[in-house]
Structure formats: C-alpha cells, structure tokens
Chain A
Amino acid sequence: MNQKTLFDKIWDAHRVHSIDDGPDVLYIDRHYIHEVTSPQAFRGLEERGITVFRPSLTLATADHNTPTIDQHLPIKEELSRIQVDKLKENCSRHGIELFGLGHNNNGIVHVIGPELGYTRPGMTIVCGDSHTSTHGAFGTVAFGIGTSEVEMVLATQCILQTRPKTMRITVDGALGKAVTSKDIIMHIIALLSTGGATGYFVEYSGPAIMALSMESRMTICNMSIEMGARGGLIAPDETTFSYLKNTKYYSVNSEFENDLKKWKDLITDSGASFDKEITISAESVRPMISYGTNPGMAVAIESSIPETEGMNNHDEENYVKALSYMGFRPGMKLEGHPVDYVFLGSCTNGRIEDFRAFASVVKGRKKADNVTALLVPGSKLVEEQVKKEGLLRILHDAGFELRQPGCSSCLAMNEDKIPAGRYAVSTSNRNFEGRQGPGARTLLASPLTAAASAVTGRITDPRTL
C-alpha cells in the first residue's frame, strides 16, 4: 500500500510541518532569484529587521530586463539599471552568490541553474518566476512563487503550500522527423487548454519522454505552467546523471557518486496512483504553431485556424477577439503567412541544443530579407558553446547575428520589443497580447520551425525544407 509517486516522495521528504486544515510547511533546497521579483522581498526583510536565513541556498542572476547588446556598457534604461544595481546591493549585503550581468555564469535563471549543476534530483526548488517548472526535468519539485513567497524563503528557507493533486502524462511511441519536444508540450497544452492542469503537479513519462535529451526535457517541463499546472517533473535516469556529471559545479565536486546512490530511488512506484492520467502517442504529434493569444490556441502547422462552429456566443466572442488581435480569421491557413520577426531564445528554447537545431536548418541557406532575427543564447555558457562548436560561423554565413544572453523578447522588458502589428515566430513560451511588446503578434513554435520560417520569410513547416 506504500506505493508513492515521485512527486509524493519528494514532497514528503521536505515537509517540515502540516498545519491543521491548512497548507504544509515545505523546506526549500534551492532558491533562485532575479532582479525583477526580488527587490520588494529584500525590502520586506529589512522592514522586519531580519537577515537571510540560509544565504548559501539562494543563487541570483540578472536576466529579465538586461540588454542583449553592449552588456559591458551601463544599462541605458534607468529603472532597469536601478533594479540590477539593487540586486547587486542586496546580494552583497546578505551574502548571496550573484552571477550578474557580464559574469561568465550569467544567463536566464532556468538555463544557468541546471547547466551549472545547481539543480539536482530530489530537490525542492522555487523562484519568483512561473517557469521554475523547468527544473522538474531533473526529477525535482520545482515551481514558481510570488514575491511574498520569495520573502518567506529568504526569511526561513520554507514556504506554506497546499499540496497539489497529481497527474501523469504518458507519451508513447517515437517522434517523427522534425518534431521536437516543444511540439509535444504545445500539443498537450492545446489538448488540455491553458487552465486544464490547474491544481495539478504533472509527471511526464513514457518512451517518447525518456528518449529525450535533458535540454528537450527542460522544454517540456518549462511549459507545464502554460496549462496551469503547478509544475512538471520527469524521473531522473542515466541521461540525467550523465548530464549532471558534466556540469560546471558538479565536475569539481566529489559528492556526485554519493548522491547518485540516493537518486536511484527517485521514481514513481509501479502501483502508485495519480489523481488523473492521460496518454498520448508521439506519432500523433506534428510541428505545432500557435495562432491566438494564449498557448492553448495552437494547431499542427499544416492545419487551419479552427472555425467557430459549435462555440457558444460567449466563447465565440472571446475567440474572435483573440483572432482579431492576431489579424487572423477562423479557417485561415497559417503556412505561408508572412513573418516579420524570428526569436530564438528564452528559458524554453535558448539552450545549446536549440542553437544546434536552428543552425542545422539555416546551414547553407540565407535569412529572408523581410525577417528581423533575434538570436539570444540562454546563458554565457551557451553563447560560448555556440562559438566553440562553430555554429556562429554557420549563423553568420546565413546572415544571422548572435546577441548576448538574457530573457530578451520573451517578455520584452528590455529594448528587444516586437513592434505593434508585426508577426514574430518565437521559440518562447507565451503569446499573450503584448507579451513581446505592445501590439506584437506572437506565433509560438519550435526552433526548427523558427529556423525554417526565418529562411523563407513565411510560416514554414520544417518538414518541407
């Protein structure tokens, strides 16, 4: 009867206390912070006259509003500069390690945590950012929190959380040509809708998931939040262990072999039950693209935008409003539609594998003249690796430039904004109105689809190139 899910094992091992009729007090192993959602938390500590409880368990980076060119110069935008300076000041005052702008380890928080070896199986991980779910790819319970909760973790290394329900999504079979993990997760979100997994913590499993690289697994877990899930995780296996062994901080750390023994138990027991189970087949997944203003509004790239038949008035009104923001009509075909911008980057698809995929498509081809491309590595290490592997050459030859790391056009807090009314094929995770700049029109897709569209100047199925 003691069969447990992986989620339950990790949660239970971190429960300090359960409040009667209330949430659990959950201990946090790793806390990531960045410049945008932390200043108010530090201010809260100061107002209470307390210091950070376990500074060595928090790691900081500047990523959300940082520029992606000329990072050696002072940040032009005043408020952004103040936030980045404030982070520096808070970290030094409280003894928190900071990989700030210009540091060799700098980058998007969900890219650097894993690649540096800070994210490890069995941990609880939080960050004031909803895409903290990314770290679940390593078999962790990782989720986004608000600033009040950032303050709680700084103050006590714990937060109060109501235990979510559990869901398992099994992906059977194998992926077809030019179909990626981004397409799997977009397929799932389109199936469940943006609120379809609210209240759940999702475990992804099945042969198609376990066949994926760590980078691809992160892409899946990353977008769990886009269907409302509290987080997503994947049981660690040999792929996970060998990835970790090669990370910067683990390779200098002899604990690895010891930790490895503990990790073997991090699986869902065979008889454990979930509150909800879904199975899909990888063969049914096609390259996906979004057409609306939330990530659930996505279709296989060869399909047309759904018609309004069968919708009630209220839904139809919402639907048509979203399409009119996008400049689309029901029934319209997406393939071949002109594209103005292409964005490769973000914590969803800004890793080395994504740059390899993009380069593999544009190699020997040329960027279309009507396309402005923003290629933004997720971190300094990714940027270095792109150069080391010779990908930069390929990109340059095809007419692309590489920018410096950061969140960039994913949320357009810095200057990397898509102008109003323009279409951007984007490898990021959100297509909300104005997400990439006021009036910007986002088409979410995989790095392969982004690359194919960048060389043709139109929405292009990567299988056709």
Chain B
Amino acid sequence: MAKEKLNLLESTCVPLPVENVDTDQIIPARFLSSTSREGFGDNLFRDWRFDHEGRPLEGFILNNKKYSGKILVAGKNFGCGSSREHAVWAVYDYGFRVVISSFFADIFRNNALNNGLLPLILPEHEVQNLMTLVTAAPETTVKINVMERKIEIPSSGKSFTFEINPYKQECLIYGLDDIDYLINMRGRISDFEKKRGGLR
C-alpha cells in the first residue's frame, strides 16, 4: 500500500539526548493491545512524558513548548529492544518523519523504513553538535533531501551527505512498499519452492 512520500523536508527539531532509548520507553508494552496502527502517538514516551496519573511531566522535552518539529535528534543506539513496530508507529503518529542518531538498532531501522520514517545516521560528534545547537536555538531548521542524500543546517552553513540503501531510498521517495514488490514475485517464489522440493 502506498505510504506517504518523503523526499524534501524542512523542519525544526526536538532534541532527545538519551542513549540506548529502548522500544519499551518509546511505547510501553501495556499500550500494545490495539489491533490497528493508528493512535500510538498519544502514548509515545508515555512514562517519560506523563506521571502515573496522566499529568504531563514538566522536565520532559516533548512537554516543552519551545521544541517542536518533524525531526527527532536522538542519542546513540536508538530503538533497541523489542521488535514492536508500534514503536515506529508511535514516533510517526506523533508527527516525526525523520529520526537523526549516530546509531540505530537493526529491527527499528527496518521497521522505520517500512513505514516511511527516515532513520538518518550522522557521525556521533555531528549528532552531538546538532543536539547542542537545537537545544540552545529551538528555531533552528534542518533541511533534508532524500533524493540527494543531503542534510543541511542553513543557520550554521553546514551540510552532510548520509547513507541510505538505494532500494530503500526509492521506496521512501515514491512511497513504495516492500510488500507490493514481493507480491509481484509470487510466481518466482513458487518456482523457488518447486526447485527445492516443496514446502518444509
């Protein structure tokens, strides 16, 4: 099914200088009892964002009105832990389209790309610089061009290229989806099964 396309994006950022953010923090297990993909944004970072009576916790960045935007700048090893795609749905549903970090957990990265969320990897010190910059100046905007694999910070004049698998890059730009690709291969998959002598 077509996903929302992602090619050009310019946005302010939300800094989250925490390392090893695991999927239990992104969306705690007790909020996984849904049979749809929507609505998880309300519980994104639930236990950091709200106290146990549901009141917003002042110290947490998402509750700070100064910071908003479609880009989350996060510490290294973002998304470690469980395979729950709900974590990606929560980040996306909240309104983020890009997460910048120096390092992502594998399953989270795959899940993100399958949902039109760009996990953008920059060198550790550049993530730190960006974190410091946007923390001090929340109005800072960052421009991302997926086609050119370019990220630019106009106010500091800095720009970098980032790596992305060409196949996944195309999927993001055109809003394509792995499942469509695979469904078109069903014939070849059946041939493969025959060649190896049926189902196991």
Residues of A within 8 A of B (CB): 13, 16-17, 19, 21-23, 25, 27, 29-30, 36-37, 39-40, 43-44, 47-48, 50, 53-54, 56-57, 64-65, 77, 79-80, 82-83, 86, 120, 123, 128-130, 132, 144-149, 151-152, 155-160, 162, 164, 194-195, 198-199, 228, 230, 294, 314-315, 318, 411-413, 420, 430, 432-435, 438-439
Contacts and interface: CB of A to CB of B under 8 A. Distances in A.
Nearest to A80: B33
Contact of A160 (B34, B84, B181): B181
Interface in B142-200: 165-168, 177-179, 181-183, 185-186, 188-189, 192-193, 196, 199-200
A156 B189 contact: yes
B32 interface: yes
A129 B86 CA distance: 12
12 contacts: A21-B165, A22-B166, A30-B200, A39-B34, A47-B1, A79-B34, A120-B200, A128-B85, A146-B111, A148-B114, A156-B189, A434-B28
A145 B113 CA distance: 13
Nearest to A407: B29
B18 interface: yes
Contact of A438 (B52, B192, B193, B196): B52
B63 interface: no
A162 B104 CA distance: 15
B39 to A, nearest CB: 12
Interface string B45-56: 001000010000
Given A152-B179, A413-B33, 16 more contacts: A25-B182, A36-B33, A37-B84, A37-B85, A40-B36, A57-B200, A64-B32, A82-B35, A129-B82, A146-B85, A158-B185, A158-B189, A159-B182, A294-B80, A430-B82, A432-B24
Given A83-B33, A148-B115, A294-B22, A21 B107 contact: no
B200 A195 contact: no
A230 B19 CA distance: 20
A17 B88 CA distance: 28
Contacts of A230: 106
A438 B54 CA distance: 13
B83 interface: yes
B16 to A, nearest CB: 12
The contact size tier of chain B is: 35 or more
A146 B88 contact: yes
Contacts of A162: 165
A156 B182 contact: yes
Contacts, number: 191
B12 interface: no
B30 A155 contact: no
Given A148-B114, A420-B52, A195 B37 contact: no
Contacts of A439: 52
B134 interface: no
Nearest to B166: A21
A293 B114 CA distance: 28
B104 to A, nearest CB: 8
B101 to A, nearest CB: 11
A158 B165 contact: no
Contacts of B166: 21-22
Contacts of B25: 432-434
A147 B200 contact: no
Given A130-B81, A228-B105, A432-B81, A413 B181 contact: no
A53 B1 CA distance: 18
A430 B24 contact: yes
B76 interface: yes
A198 B103 contact: yes
B77 interface: yes
Nearest to B180: A48
Most B C-beta atoms less than 10 A away, residue of A54, A195, A199, A439:
A195
